[in-house]
Amino acid sequence: MGFVKGLAKGAIVAKVVQVAQRELRKPENQRKIKETVQRVRHKIR
């Protein structure tokens, strides 16, 4: 049973990574990330 659970967890993690990579390729999401990073950098200074 532990093997099946491990396999299922691995498949879920792989799917999450796949979706995250797809979303990060989108220009609008890249812009949002850049804006957020700039805001955080500005607050730190």
User: Cα–Cα distances in Å, from 28 out to 1, 3, 37, 40?
Assistant: 42, 40, 14, 19
Q: Are the beta carbons of 23 and 29 closer than 8 angstroms?
A: yes
In the chain, what are the domain boundaries? Answer: 20-45
Structure tokens at 22: 């797809």
Q: Are the beta carbons of 12 and 18 closer than 8 angstroms?
A: no
pTM for the model stands at: 0.62
* Amino acid sitting at position 4: V
pLDDT-based confidence at 45, cuts 50/70/90?
confident
Chain segment 4-44, per-residue pLDDT in tens: 999 999 999 999 999 999 999 999 999 999 999 999 999 98
Q: Are the beta carbons of 30 and 24 closer than 8 angstroms?
A: yes
* Amino acid sitting at position 13: V
